[in-house]
Amino acid sequence: AAAAAEDEAAEFDPEDPIYLWSYCKKCRDVVTHKQRLSPEASKFSFGKTLEVLFYERRTFGALNACACSAGDNHILYFGMGTLVARFDRAKIAPLRIAADTAAPFARVRAWHEGYASAELGLLLGLGLTYCHHLRTR
């Protein structure tokens, strides 16, 4: 067990850059090339980075003309050194839907999606003008 822990520690170097790329299950092709997360991403926790990427419905830096939904068909990969994490979404059929009468949450969700788009632009090193364009759509 100690040898396995040492091997795992040797694979992880906090100074290694984090890369991300995506793959489309439907097209069976790489959608985005392997790209390094921008220096601005170091200001976010990994959890916040995932949140921003999962709220975003569009794909940045696409290699091909994949028109598939990023939320339904794309698998997101993160790589650091010799380690890779795979994030795949699956639809879950609810057993029951209960409606809440708190209508203000609809406005919060719409604002949050625009905010996520702006943060995603910063993560991938896009200019502030492009981020502003995303928020005004």
> Does residue 59 have a pLDDT over 50?
yes
pLDDT at 18: 83
CB 72 within 8 A of CB 92: no
What is the 8-class DSSP label of residue 68? Answer: S
Q: What is the pLDDT of residues 26-52, one digit of tens each?
A: 888 888 888 888 777 767 787 887 777
Q: Rounded to 5 degrees, what angle do the CA atoms 84, 50, 48 make? A: 125
Q: Which of 65, 61, 51, 22 is nearest to 117 (CA)?
A: 51
Q: What is the pLDDT of residues 66-115, one digit of tens each?
A: 777 766 778 888 888 888 888 887 777 777 766 666 655 554 444 444 55
User: 């719409």: which residue's tokens?
Assistant: 110
Which of 4-8, 47-51, 103-107, 128-132 has the largest mean confidence? 47-51
CB 56 within 8 A of CB 47: no
